[in-house]
Amino acid sequence: MKADIIKKLKSENKALNDEKLSEDLGIFDTTIQQHIRELQDLGYHISETDKGYHLTNEPDVLFPWEFEKRESHIHYFSEVNSTMDVARNMAKDDCPHFTVIIAESQTKGRGRLKRKWISEEGGLYFTIVLRPDMPITLVHMVNFCASLSLAKILQNHFSLNAKVKWPNDVLVDDKKISGLLSEMEADDNGIYFVNIGIGINVNNDPALEEPNATSLKKLLGKDVLRKTILSLFLDEFENSLNLSNVNKIMIQWKKYTMTLGKEVRIVTSRETTEGTAIDVDESGALILKLEDGSLKKIIYGDCFVR
């Protein structure tokens, strides 16, 4: 019911009194005030005058009803250990393709290579459950498609110099604005699920913990609504997954990357390799040209530009 009240206040964009809301939404007058109080507690700025209730600004909230056509596939939590854990459980319980789990905060957010992902207030943290119909050998394309989609919306909607860094970071002006983590379950019958977890620095200041990171607020000098970013991203990512073939994703990813042509150091738990990043092959591996001229294929690792 709260969602209906918010939708109504937004669509009418003027003050509505108890009688009008009660009549249009088919609820008792007496319960409206209670719902309004609860909405105010959730962060909605609703003023009350003798003309009725008026929604005075767009709060930075991520409740499912804020994503109209996706509402039934979006799950919002104020705090979780990690959206990856919630997503894994939901995926095992057969939730539908493109289910999105959002958390306001994570107590055990995680990054690639078992790193911690600090989830400060104002950031955007979510995991998407996907059930792609593709051979397991191509599954890395889903990750490439996700980081590419984010770089595209940051370029196209915010005029930012956003680039993808192998394997899956998004940087703006060479500083990390987003990281992506994926987890998968598959068997002989194919992929059961691929969960893509994304953390985006929106209105938080990651530089306090991580000097080489930035946020949208820092870059644009103002707060940005996280629901706008998420909405744009989900639309772009879903369309790209539906419309693009593997080759197209890879060609575009190469256009948007800052890694190729650079002198890089790749660090894994086992070794460190230095060389020039010359290509990414069809399996998503980075091809390095080493100092002695030989080529080395790198499947995973942290990439540092030297």
Interaction site with ligand BTN (CB under 6 A): 82-84, 106, 109-112, 115, 117, 125-127, 169, 179-181, 197-199
Spatial distance between the Cα atoms of 294 and 274, rounded to a whole number of angstroms: 12
Spatial distance between the Cα atoms of 80 and 103, rounded to a whole number of angstroms: 7
Match 């290579």 to its residue by tokens: 113
Nearer to ligand BTN by Cβ, of 70 and 112: the residue is 112
Cβ burial of 79 (10 Å; 0-12, 13-18, 19+) is exposed
Q: Output the smallest distance, CB 26 to ligand BTN, in A.
A: 38
Nearer to ligand BTN by Cβ, of 6 and 303: the residue is 303
Strands (E), 85-174: 99-106, 124-130, 162-165, 169-172
Spatial distance between the Cα atoms of 262 and 277, rounded to a whole number of angstroms: 6
Nearer to ligand BTN by Cβ, of 64 and 111: the residue is 111
Nearer to ligand BTN by Cβ, of 274 and 302: the residue is 302
Q: Strands 74-80, 99-106: parallel, antiparallel or unpaired by DSSP? A: parallel
Spatial distance between the Cα atoms of 202 and 181, rounded to a whole number of angstroms: 18
Q: Output the smallest distance, CB 209 to ligand BTN, in A.
A: 13
Q: Output the smallest distance, CB 185 to ligand BTN, in A.
A: 17
CB 275 within 8 A of CB 179: no
Q: Output the smallest distance, CB 156 to ligand BTN, in A.
A: 23
CB-nearest residue to ligand BTN: 179
CA 158, distance to chain mean position in Å, is 16
Q: Output the smallest distance, CB 219 to ligand BTN, in A.
A: 18
Nearer to ligand BTN by Cβ, of 107 and 239: the residue is 107
CB 169 within 8 A of CB 302: no
Nearer to ligand BTN by Cβ, of 8 and 112: the residue is 112
CB 128 within 8 A of CB 98: yes
Q: Strands 272-280, 162-165: parallel, antiparallel or unpaired by DSSP? A: unpaired
Strand partners, 244: none
Nearer to ligand BTN by Cβ, of 37 and 108: the residue is 108
Nearer to ligand BTN by Cβ, of 52 and 199: the residue is 199
Q: Output the smallest distance, CB 106 to ligand BTN, in A.
A: 5
CA-wise closest residue to 146 among 252, 264, 304, 70: 252
Spatial distance between the Cα atoms of 36 and 41, rounded to a whole number of angstroms: 9
Q: Output the smallest distance, CB 110 to ligand BTN, in A.
A: 4
Q: Output the smallest distance, CB 44 to ligand BTN, in A.
A: 25
